[in-house]
Amino acid sequence: MDTFKTHLDKFITISEEEYVSVLSFFEVVEVKKKQTLLFDGEVCKSMYFVSKGCLRKFFVNEKGVEQTTEFAVENWWITDTFAYERQIKTEFNIQSVERSSLLVIDLETQELLLKKHPVMERYFRMIYQRAYAASERRIRYLYEMSREELYVHFSTQYPWFIQRIPQYLIASFLGFTPEYLSEIRAKLRS
């Protein structure tokens, strides 16, 4: 069975016929490792569903350092939601971490999808609620946890990230330098 259909089935009930129609609203895109899908300064026109692979969202800070704010692996969505919903220029970049297969939809097409298949409104509401709740937790963890606790929590909650994603990107996501992450990991091993 298609991974997107399996994913949708966790949130909504649609027939195989409806699913074929829903899928027709998306473009299937294959991307290479380190391919950039969205550049800082471009209008954010699309949302990306990861069927296979991994993407990341990041910005470049005032010191010229990339700061990763989000990852998306299989069955996760990624976009600059603020810029996408308003169809304005983004301040982020979205790039593939590894070869990826994506379902891509733009705002106009998404609106057509929602009109034809109102059940997808429920799906997207549930997805946004989960993403918002995850954001709230991450903010709290950033305020409450020491850097070491933050790494331990992340590596416990998402062990597959530690194996799959390069350490310099994990460091970027946690707000560390790669060297500091190496120090934490060495300390925890001893």
- Domains: count for the chain: 2
| Residues 139 and 47 placed together within one structural domain of the fold | yes
Residues 63 and 81 in one domain: yes
Residue 87, SS3 per DSSP:
coil
The candidate with the shortest Cα–Cα distance to 55, out of 41, 75, 83, 40, is: 75
d(CA 91, CA 7): 29
133 and 154 together in one domain: no
Could you give the angle at the alpha carbon of 54 between the alpha carbons of 48 and 57, nearest 5°? 65
Q: How many angstroms separate the first and last alpha carbons of the chain?
A: 45
Do 84 and 92 meet the contact criterion of CB atoms below 8 Å apart?
A: no
* Structure-model confidence comparison of residues 11 and 1, the more confident one: 11
37-68 tens-digit pLDDT: 999 999 999 999 999 999 999 999 999 999 99
Question: Are residues 66 and 153 located together in one domain of the fold?
Answer: no
Q: pLDDT digit string (tens) for 86-129?
A: 999 999 999 999 999 999 999 999 999 999 999 999 999 999 99
- In percent, how much of the chain has pLDDT > 70? 99
The pLDDT, as a whole number, for residue 145 is: 93
Whether residues 139 and 73 share a domain: the answer is yes
**What pLDDT is stored for residue 172 in this prediction?**
92
Residues 174 and 113 in one domain: no
* CATH code of 12's domain: 2.60.120.10
pLDDT tens digits, residue range 68-78? 999 999 999 99
Q: Are residues 99 and 185 in the same domain?
A: no
89 and 158 together in one domain = no
pLDDT at 161 over 90: no
Domain that holds residue 188: 145-190
- pTM for the whole thing? 0.93
- Same-domain pairing of 176 and 117: no
> Across the chain, what does the average pLDDT equal?
94
> Is residue 116 domain-shared with residue 174, that is, in the same domain?
no
pLDDT of residue 160: 85
Query: Which band of pLDDT confidence, cut at 50, 70 and 90, is reported for residue 163?
Result: confident
Question: Where among 109, 128, 143 does a domain terminate?
Answer: 143
- Is the pLDDT assigned to residue 1 strictly greater than 80? no
Pair (11, 55) in one structural domain? yes
Tell me: do 188 and 115 sit in the same domain: no
Average of pLDDT values for 74-84?
A: 97
Supply the pLDDT for residue 30.
98
Query: Cβ distance 93 to 39 under 8 Å?
Result: yes
